[in-house]
Amino acid sequence: MPSVAEGEVSNSTHNPKLHSKPFFNDSSSRRQKILQQRKSLPIASVEKRLVEEVRKNDILIIVGETGSGKTTQLPQFLFHAGFCRDGKLIGVTQPRRVAAVTVAKRVAEESGVELGQRVGYSIRFDDRTSTSTRI
């Protein structure tokens, strides 16, 4: 389970906002599978707490196991919580080109948007962003 700030976070109730995003109105089996995967990630149970902590702290270090959802879910939580208002961006860094591209593709797919629109990436010699990119 991801840690928030200095303490461990106990299991809280699942945030129903994950169910209400327009992307998940599609009945395709692929998207339904993604919804189930997102709901099962450890970070899903602490969405509200994470958003609150980001609002309260200038610096926040999120620690969690590999595959807990830190990289793919947190940017989406912040986007839906309004952190991209007034032209602000959510940046996600990755140590390798392939990781940057893969993460951006996954977040775009989960968000139900075309890569390069609301979700994009920029690496050396390859920029898949637009004026509407926020993550």
CA distance 119 to 18: 18
Within-domain flag for 133:
no
Full residue range of the structural domain in which residue 121 is found: 3-128
Nearest to 49 by CA among 7, 89, 83: 7
Instruction: Please report how many Cα atoms fall inside a 13 Å half-sphere around the Cα of residue 117, on the Cβ side.
Output: 7
User: In CATH, what number is assigned to the domain containing residue 83?
Assistant: 3.40.50.300
Q: How many independent structural domains does the chain possess?
A: 1
Q: What is the pLDDT of residues 17-75, one digit of tens each?
A: 443 444 445 558 888 898 889 999 999 999 999 999 999 999 999 999 999 999 999 99
DSSP lists the bridge partners of residue 17 as none
Within-domain flag for 134:
no
Within-domain flag for 65:
yes
Within-domain flag for 36:
yes
CA distance 79 to 88: 10
pTM, whole model, 2 decimals?
0.77
CA distance 120 to 103: 9
Within-domain flag for 60:
yes
